[in-house]
Chain A
Amino acid sequence: MAPLPAIHCERLTKVFHIHHGAWRRLRAAFSAGTLEGQQRLLALSAVSFTLARGESLGIVGPNGAGKSTLLKILAGILAPTSGHLAIHGKVASIIELGGGFHPEFTGRQNFFMNGAILGFAPSQLEAMYDRVVAFSGLGSFMEMPIKTYSSGMWARLAFSIAIHMEPEILLVDEALAVGDAIFAHRCLGRIHAMKQSGVSLVLVTHDVNAVKQMCDRAMLIDQGQAVALGPCDEVLLTYQTMVAERLTEGGGTDADPPFHRIGAVDVTGAAGDLRYGTFEAVIEGHTVAAADGRRTAQFQPGERVAIAMVVSIHRPIEDAVFGIMLRNRFGIEVFGTNTMRMGRRCGPFGSGQTLTVRFEMDLFLADGVYAVSLAVHTPDGRFFDYQVEATFIEVLGPVHSIGVAHLPMTLTLTPGGDPGAVETRTPAPAGPVSAQVIA
């Protein structure tokens, strides 16, 4: 027997009835049939799809297309007017981050409230609490009323709660756009990991890149109808074409901006405190600077960055490996290396010694925020100190490209059709990655 699909829906239709006047509203509410002369609003019209276990579907479409209505029906919040819906598995929905929070209560109290709404017993929540706090990075803020939180902290708490409810099907609506870039980074990484472990995902978003990177398939909804359903590339192309057409048609008031960029974020925010190791060698601090020594966390594509960490040795170490890893906001490792891979042997170090390890590289990366993880470990991979997401850097350039990397390139237009006349030029060779160990 084939495993049941996570979601199976056939011809889901939702009609909203609009009534004017209290008496008509009351009559409509308590009568089984439909009343005459009521205004009908077709929010969703015969949408069908099947989502297999572990599969992910991105739903895109202009505002008011019916995306959120569909998600609410899948979540069980709204009842469909007609159609068939079968869901197999535990559903967690993030329709709006912190939709059930009470501003006067502390983060801790809100966690227990929210957990109870989601149907968890206090004992289960108690067991979950530490992990949620660790993930949210809110620490002692959990004991403060959340009205004192920034919107980013608010979002962090909400997302941490939802993500730790261990659902089998995760429904996410636009939630990734709020909150600070650093946390969004971590959330996307987590969703990615959940996907790997077999969680089905439905993502409603305007972020075309998010759909591309996280979803197996995409669906385009327009005016309540599923206009396209299929591979991401095709559907997103249809969507972008549609958006472009509407923009040219008039004013573009109907469509959303097709590309969502994080851009110009404040990356000075508190970085994560996920850290582990034996601490026989400790990363005491780190700096991110431009090649000229200017301290910054924002770079243009291709700009040279210097990432340095100060390490103190607490026990004689024969052989140490210093490493660095850059991950993009989807948690994908875009670049990582260490002194061992570079053929550089470091050590031995005596107890009490301090050293600075400096990595310099050219950031030929696409726009976005990148998490920098730093590590000191033995050649066989035992960590002395591993700081996950120790700091963040942002790459933001004048040339907007698509993809993960921003390869150094030039563009040349030459008249004539002879391929031989097309001359490719390479830019001045950029310096390779260098690691310096100053003991």
Chain B
Amino acid sequence: MNAAAPSRPLFLRLPGGSFLHERQLWRHRRLLLQMVRADLRSRYVATSMGFFWSVIHPFLLLLVYIFVFSVVFAQRWEERGGFHFQGNYAVFLCCGLLPWTWLNESLIAASNSVVAQGTLIRKNVFPVVILPFQPILSGLFHFSIAFALFLVYRVATFGFPGVEIALVPLVVVLQAALLMGPALLLATLNVFWRDVSQILTSLLMLLFWLTPIIYLPDMFEPALTARFGASAYGALIWFYWLNPVYHLVALYQRLLFYESIPAWQPAIGVSAGYLLLLSAAAWFLARRLFGRALPRIVEMV
């Protein structure tokens, strides 16, 4: 063989194993950031209020939920002997709704990310693997703005939180890690079966209501037990324990909202460990399937 290493097309140069996709991702990190910037810019490019919109949307949504749940339905829950959010529904809501919005938007956008950039992939030697990460990072940007505003409100109403707040950035990183695998997997599947993106939208809507984001299961306990017996409520709690989004939301709620932990809630370490495990498993599966499908992705998009 010749001493000078021939420079070959990417897919030939790098063997499939040994963290090929992770290295690609790292190598093209600047391009990824550029794409994130481009996406954020394009969203507001012709609007007069620009980035302000990224604050207005979640803010209005929050107002609607706060009005509906703490004004319209509050009386009914009180009557059923339910939970009263320790006097501040808005803080509880933000702990769940802001991370959910990030998750929801980035997964839907990620599922379309590869298909949407078909021209780029067909006409350039393009690192496809970075595409699903752009929505995650764009979502992180919006999440950070909204979350910072929320923290200001949290301090204003509840006073300074405890030292646990130092763990919040770690939870944010954990959420990003949790999104990576599903984002890549969904983007890959959607290339071959375009319905994936639509199915995902519906499933996420269901998942939203199956996760204690705008309510707490404690509210239903009396009604559920009265109608289906105590085991029904137990089953619901079991479902929550399996639901990764619940663990994610619970982490935020635990760090920023609860003074005391309801008996059925998992400990912080349990939630974090479960999420780490799931993140790793999802990423492993996603990169494996993506790696197999990559040559066909270029042909299909």
Chain A residues within 8 Å of B, Cβ to Cβ: 4, 16, 22, 25-26, 28-32, 75-79, 85-91, 93, 95-96, 99-100, 102, 104-105, 109, 112-113, 116-118, 121-122, 145
For the complex of A and B, the 5 pairs showing the least CB-CB separation, nearest first, are A76-B9, A99-B123, A22-B193, A29-B293, A116-B31
Q: Return chain B residues, CB-CB under 8 Å to A121.
A: 30
Q: Return chain A residues, CB-CB under 8 Å to B289.
A: 30
Q: Return chain B residues, CB-CB under 8 Å to A100.
A: 119-120, 123-124, 126
| Contact present for B124 and A116 (CB under 8 Å) | no
| Contact present for B122 and A77 (CB under 8 Å) | yes
Q: Return chain B residues, CB-CB under 8 Å to A86.
A: 6, 8
Given A29-B296, A109-B38, A122-B30, check contact A85 B195 (CB 8 Å). Answer: no
| Contact present for B42 and A76 (CB under 8 Å) | no
Q: What 9 additional pairs, Cβ within 8 angstroms, besides A25-B193, A26-B189?
A: A30-B293, A32-B292, A76-B11, A79-B12, A79-B298, A93-B125, A95-B124, A99-B119, A104-B45
Q: Return chain A residues, CB-CB under 8 Å to B189.
A: 26
Q: Return chain B residues, CB-CB under 8 Å to A112.
A: 34
Given A26-B193, A105-B38, A105-B42, check contact A79 B295 (CB 8 Å). Answer: yes
| B157 contacts the other chain (CB 8 A) | no
* Interface pairs (10), CB distance under 8 Å: A25-B193, A77-B9, A77-B121, A85-B9, A100-B120, A100-B123, A102-B38, A102-B42, A113-B38, A117-B124
Chain B residues within 8 Å of A, Cβ to Cβ: 2, 4, 6-12, 30-31, 34-35, 38, 41-42, 45-46, 119-126, 188-189, 191-193, 195, 289, 292-293, 295-300
A95 to chain B, nearest CB (A): 5
Residue of B nearest to A31 (CB): B292
| Contact present for B124 and A118 (CB under 8 Å) | yes
B298 to chain A, nearest CB (A): 6
Residue of A nearest to B4 (CB): A4
Q: Return chain B residues, CB-CB under 8 Å to A113.
A: 34-35, 38
A118, B124: Cα distance in complex, Å: 8
A202, B34: Cα distance in complex, Å: 31
A122, B37: Cα distance in complex, Å: 14
Q: Return chain A residues, CB-CB under 8 Å to B12.
A: 76, 79, 85
| Contact present for B123 and A22 (CB under 8 Å) | no
A197, B228: Cα distance in complex, Å: 83
Q: Return chain A residues, CB-CB under 8 Å to B191.
A: 29
Q: Return chain A residues, CB-CB under 8 Å to B31.
A: 116-117
Residue of A nearest to B195 (CB): A22
Q: Return chain B residues, CB-CB under 8 Å to A102.
A: 38, 42
A43, B34: Cα distance in complex, Å: 35
A16, B298: Cα distance in complex, Å: 11
| Contact present for B125 and A77 (CB under 8 Å) | yes
A372 to chain B, nearest CB (A): 35
A192, B296: Cα distance in complex, Å: 36
| Contact present for B46 and A77 (CB under 8 Å) | no
Given A29-B296, A78-B298, A104-B42, check contact A117 B126 (CB 8 Å). Answer: yes
Given A78-B299, A104-B45, check contact A4 B125 (CB 8 Å). Answer: no
| Contact present for A77 and B30 (CB under 8 Å) | no
| Contact present for A26 and B38 (CB under 8 Å) | no
| Contact present for A79 and B11 (CB under 8 Å) | yes
| Contact present for A87 and B9 (CB under 8 Å) | yes
| Contact present for B299 and A87 (CB under 8 Å) | no
Q: Return chain B residues, CB-CB under 8 Å to A88.
A: 4, 6-7
A93, B188: Cα distance in complex, Å: 26
Given A22-B192, A30-B293, A121-B30, check contact A99 B124 (CB 8 Å). Answer: yes
| Contact present for A96 and B123 (CB under 8 Å) | yes
Q: Return chain A residues, CB-CB under 8 Å to B6.
A: 4, 86-88
A85, B13: Cα distance in complex, Å: 11
Q: Return chain A residues, CB-CB under 8 Å to B8.
A: 76, 85-87
Q: Return chain A residues, CB-CB under 8 Å to B9.
A: 75-77, 79, 85, 87
